[in-house]
Amino acid sequence: MTKLEELSALLVNELHEFNKNIEKLESISQQLNDLKIQMDMSEYKTLFADHQKEITTHKSMIEGFESRFNDKIKEAKIYPTWAVVVFIIALLFGFCSIIYGAI
């Protein structure tokens, strides 16, 4: 009977320790749930603001280049006007000489 009493006392003692550990874990879990972690974002905010300014500057430079490029494309001609006129006159002269030579 003493063995049974010793085992039951040991079991009760272990259960009591187990319950105390569970209560400790519950209190730690509650503390972790209540804990608020805050990051210091001020340094990152200034970096983001500086980067945003640089991006805006680059964007405006690219838009200016694009508008100048588009203006140049609109003004561009494949051949100058004088070259087209000379070519047409040369074609007419060649055509007329072929017709005159055939007659």
**What's residue 11's pLDDT?**
87
According to the model, what pLDDT value does residue 90 have? 93
pLDDT on residue 103: 67
Which ranges of the chain have pLDDT less than 70?
Answer: 1, 103
pTM comes to: 0.42
Number of domains in the chain: 1
Confidence at residue 42, expressed as pLDDT on a 0 to 100 scale? 84
Q: Does any domain span residue 103?
A: no
Residue 74 lies in a domain: no
Q: What range defines the domain where residue 3 resides?
A: 1-34
DSSP 8-state symbol, 78:
S
**50-63: string of b/e by CB count within 10 Å (b at 16+)?**
eeeeeeeeeeeeee
In a domain, 93, yes or no: no
The answer to whether residue 27 is domain-embedded is: yes
Residue 47 corresponds to which tokens in the numbers above? 């970096």
Q: Is residue 7 part of a domain?
A: yes
Structure tokens at 48: 């983001």
DSSP 8-state code for residue 76: -
Residue 80 covered by a domain:
no
